[in-house]
Amino acid sequence: MKRISIIAFALLSLTACSLEVEQHPAWIDGEYNNKKDDLPQRAYFHNDRLAWNAAINNRNHLQNEYLRTKD
The answer to whether position 69 is within a domain reads yes
Q: Mean pLDDT, to the nearest integer, of 33-59? A: 82
Q: Domain for residue 49, yes or no? A: yes
Query: How many domains are there within the chain?
Result: 1
**26 lies in a domain?**
no
Is the residue at 66 inside a domain?
yes
pLDDT at residue 19 in the model: 61
Statement: the pTM of the whole predicted model exceeds 0.85:
no
In a domain, residue 32? The reply is no
Of 55, 60, 32, 57, residue with least CA distance to 45: 55
Planar angle of CA 22, 25, 32, nearest 5 degrees? 170
Give domain status of residue 58, yes or no.
yes
Residue 5 lies in a domain: no
For residue 57, give its domain range.
38-71
